[in-house]
Amino acid sequence: MPRGAAGVRRVVSLVPSLTEAVAVTVPGALVGATDWCSNPPDLDVVRVGGTKNPAVDRIVRLAPDLVIANEEENREPDLAILREAGVEVLVTEVRDVPGAFRELTRVLDACGARTRPRWLDEAQAAWARPPAPERRSTAIVPIWRRPWMVLGRDTFAGDVLARLGVDNVYAHHADRYPRIPLPELRAAAPDLVVLPDEPYHFTADDGPEAFEGVPCVLVNGRLLTWYGPSLAQAPGALSEALRAARR
């Protein structure tokens, strides 16, 4: 199997949060990443398009030892083409916080990490004892508008919030990311509306006005939805934002 400098595996990441995890843990391993892979900010690798529409031919030309993907972020037909071209593809499945730690360990091992990174230990310690909320709250968590889409069942971000004392109103919906009309969202009468800045970039002027009378909290989408080094800061930062909104 071909290797890069000093025996490091040549890796292409199609998952932004895993791109960050690999970049800071196994320097030199990444040779390609998506256009949406924004961390680390100085990442200098070949860009291979989006998570849903990667340039498969460009990836193959990079001759990677491994392509990292995710079962919900990437499309199976694209991954099948890569496999047919002889490329090894590792597909992750992350639907809760414990799953994130399991998959991060698997990915970093597959990328040739020699030791367990300190940030991963710090993240697990932070989530072992997250800040305790004063009381539990209910929330809806839009991830898109026009049409409105929210977190549904079995999602990593939903589990993050549940561990911080916020229960997703649509946690038992049949779909993982259901489209819900705005009148129905309002009628659900949540205690909070949690508005991340990705994948849709909700802002103070774009989102809260749709939920008049309901406390809205704008949160860093990387802290809510990414599984990587940001996991160490997520419990404290998200808890502080949620606590402020619940006052």
Cis, bond preceding 196 (omega within 30 deg of 0): no
φ/ψ (deg, to 5) at 117: -70, 150
Contacts of 40 (CB under 8 A, 6+ apart): 20, 23, 24
Return the percentage of the chain with pLDDT > 70, whole number.
97
Give tens-digit pLDDT for 188-239: 999 999 999 999 999 999 999 999 999 999 999 999 999 999 999 999 999 9
What average pLDDT does range 102-117 have in this prediction?
95
Residue 4's pLDDT band (cuts 50, 70, 90): very low
| Extended beta strands in the chain, E state | 11-13, 30-33, 46-47, 66-70, 89-92, 137-140, 142-144, 149-150, 166-168, 192-196, 216-219
**Would you state the pLDDT for residue 44?**
95
| Pairing of β 142-144 and β 149-150 | antiparallel
What average pLDDT does range 22-33 have in this prediction?
96
Question: Looking at the predicted structure, is the pLDDT value of residue 247 above 80?
Answer: no
Give tens-digit pLDDT for 73-85: 999 999 999 999 9
What's the pTM value of the predicted model, to 2 decimals? 0.92
